[in-house]
Chains A and B, each alone.
Chain A
Amino acid sequence: MKDQELQELVERGSSQGDRDSRLYHSVFKALRTETDYVLPADFAERVIAAVKARYSSRDMVWFTGGVFLIIIALVVAVMVTGFSFTFGAFTFLSGYPGLVIFGVAFILALQWIDRRWIRKSVL
């Protein structure tokens, strides 16, 4: 009998009773035995913690980079245009304190709704 046929026979659980069959039985038994490596019980928690750490540090890098670039752009714009700081068009707001308070409260409310109700896309 060819070796391939013998493997198929032993895999189906049959045996010829010869030496090669017995050897293949041992080989198949070992192949079906679990490896010695088992994941720790808290493995899932460790992975989730690693995902959170990775994404929070990535967000921080983007945020810091963004703030840095805005400051650079601001400095360059002021230097190039010789811009002088005035309230300009916004001076009219001094007559409408209620409007300013409403604007600030509205933006804060939007931020709160965003954090509270919009589903997070990262764990």
Chain B
Amino acid sequence: MTDDRSLVSRVIGGEEGAFRTLIRQHGCLVAHMVGRLVKEDADRQEICQDVFLKVYEKLPEFGFQSKLSTWIATIAYRHAINHVRKHRMQFEELPDDARWTERFVDYEDPGELLEAKDETARVQQFIDLLPAQYKAILTLYHLDSMSYAEISEVMNMPEGTVKNYLFRARNLLKEKLNKYFEKQEYERPGIAGTR
């Protein structure tokens, strides 16, 4: 992988090829974040493009106080979360009581739940229902292999909160999957009973 410092100075110097390399190196990171937080396919590419336009504009101000990937992820997160706030979504607020957890675990999206191909697709549908902050943390940790410290920098929250949100998000998904299988076992005992 190209050295970040040399790549950044080449982009600032106006080298088109260097900017192309930067986009290709960090495209997945941005696509993960935007793809996970933004549901509308038509908006996703526009937001990803806006992220890289902002990266290009602000690159001369980037002083390597953090890794380049962490800085780009921060821009991607802010763009995506702004979009989410404009288009209010189900379970947008963070859970602060047991009733929220119960409501989340019991909630069914009748349109989407019928379409899942397999168990992984089913869990991914559940992930879509989580609050944006949870989805962002899960994505940065599991797909982009970021450390707690890096995620804490991207999301501007203490490391302890990152760990707590990560645990709670995975726990919510497990509980929701459990509830789903329980329902399956009740409705079709022979099929789901193997679990």
Contacts and interface: CB of A to CB of B under 8 A. Distances in A.
Whether chains A and B associate is: yes
Band of interface residues on B: 35 or more
A65 to B, nearest CB: 20
B13 interface: yes
Interface of B: 12-16, 19-20, 23-24, 27-28, 30-32, 34-36, 41, 44-45, 48-49, 52-53, 56, 119-124, 127, 138-139, 142-143, 167, 170-171, 173-174, 177-178, 181, 195
A35 B27 CA distance: 13
A98 B130 CA distance: 78
Contacts of A4: 167
Nearest to B15: A123
A6 to B, nearest CB: 9
B173 to A, nearest CB: 5
A102 interface: no
Contact of B53 (A20, A35, A45, A47): A47
Interface residues of A, number: 37
A3 B168 CA distance: 10
Interface of A: 3-4, 7, 19-20, 22-24, 26-40, 43-48, 50-51, 54, 119-123
Contacts of A37: 31, 34-35, 41, 44
Contact of A35 (B20, B32, B173): B32
Contact of B177 (A23, A45, A46): A23
Contacts of A38: 31, 35
A23 to B, nearest CB: 5
